[in-house]
Amino acid sequence: MNRFVRILAVLPFFVPAACTSDATDEFNIPEEYLAEAESIPPYWIASTSEVNDYILNNVHKGEVELLGHSAGGRPIYAVTYGTPRSGSGTTTYSGASSINRIAAYRGPDSGKKVYMAIAAVHGFELEGIVGIVNMISVLETGKDLSGQPWPELEAMRDSLDRIVLVPITNPDGRDRVPIRMEKFRGSGPDAYLVHEYLNTGGLDHGKLIGWPACKEYNPVDFSAVEFPGSYPNDNGINIMHDDFFGTVQPETRIVLDLARRENPDILLNMHTGVSRYDYFIEVCRPCLGAYSPMHVRVWEQFYRHVHTDLTLGGFRGTDDLLKETTPKLEHTGTGAMNLTSVLSYHCGALAVTVEDGSHGYTGVYPDGSPVNHTPEKILNAELTLHQSAMRFLLRNGGVSAWEKAE
């Protein structure tokens, strides 16, 4: 613990003029929107203070690394397991991809299997945070924070060469919503309103900015809205749609540099935001322009593999494996270009956006009956997905192996 206190003491602490350290002081959020769940389970660790305290005091088999600070000066941590790639290649990823030989970019350790996952690019999308924190618990103790054992997931600590996890990528956005867990608001047609307000922001008296309209202004002028939501950092930038070829935000720079250093084979970007009428965790189809033909082929294999495990686990809408594992033709809400697609271009990873349901409200089945998404079920779905993704990497190899199969 003291090691990290000393590191923090010597790093620069940058606080921009737009810093919004306390949402209740800076913004006129409707009071009822900040109602917390009456009973918060012990496995629900999702605030920046809880997460940072947990990893700084409970990671012993892995390593905790301070990657840098957000626009608002908040620390961003990674937890890593295993040994990173060593050495360097002779060309850029672009050069290596043009000759279909990733080792020319990665160097002598190209064949290592490296898994990376990030959460809370949008700060108040808590499900991904909870999933990664509980995965850290499994990798450390063999059990999640509810006490459930995950022996296969625990074994991945030693089976894979490297695991890299960032629980909170946008701590500014996370701290802007000062509650640990949303009050559950049911499955009615308006049940999503509070959740969306806290995420995408509001204009006046609780009126939604809305999705995807919230992306029209980037940066967001905090003075022009009632509440900017948790998407932007303290500079007002939604880093999922940063100015990637201009001057990027500190959080974006951190993620890009981490991905470049680690060169993962699979990189998951965990989000919350599935359709009310298809209210189940899913692997989203990317903008195919960001993928090589190899990535397109492997993504389809990855989708079928992970959705098989999710279906067998009861985390999809039906038990029809053919239906649930057939990739959707359209990309689902991810846009033509975003952080995930840029990360794929940046280091050659199979970079994938994953969307989950919210603990604050639920959707419905086609017949109108509510989907029973408890926080415990959300936790199990998150861990099942990570376990399945790691299993895919372990069994199918990484980019080096995928190239050879072309």
Q: How far apart are the first and last CA of the chain?
A: 47
Read off the pLDDT of residues 147-177 as tens digits, 9 standing for 90 and up.
Answer: 999 999 999 999 999 999 999 999 999 999 9
* Tokens at 277, concatenated: 């009428």
Question: Which homologous superfamily is 2-404 in?
Answer: Zn peptidases (3.40.630.10)
The answer to whether 79 and 66 are in contact (CB under 8 A) is no
Separation of alpha carbons 21 and 339, rounded Å: 25
Give yes or no for residue 16 having a pLDDT over 80: no
Beta bridge partners of 269: 118, 353
The pLDDT-based confidence of 404 (bands split at 50, 70, 90) is: confident
Peptide bond preceding 219 in cis form (omega within 30 of 0)? yes
Reading phi first (left if > 0) and then psi (alpha if -120 to 50, else beta), residue 263 is in: left
Read off the pLDDT of residues 195-236 as tens digits, 9 standing for 90 and up.
Answer: 999 999 998 877 888 888 889 999 999 999 999 999 999 999
Question: What is the side-by-side order of every strand in the sheet holding 282-283?
Answer: 63-69, 75-82, 162-166, 114-119, 266-272, 350-356, 282-283
pTM to 2 decimals? 0.93
pLDDT recorded at residue 372: 86
Read off the pLDDT of residues 277-286 as tens digits, 9 standing for 90 and up.
Answer: 999 999 998 7
Read off the pLDDT of residues 57-77 as tens digits, 9 standing for 90 and up.
Answer: 999 999 999 999 999 999 999
Give 368: exposed, middle or buried? Use CB within 10 Å, 0-12, 13-18, 19+. Answer: exposed
Q: Write down the domain spans for the chain.
A: 2-404
Using only C-alpha atoms, the chain has a radius of gyration, in whole angstroms, of 20
Q: In a 3-state reduction of DSSP, which class is residue 59?
A: coil
pLDDT recorded at residue 405: 81
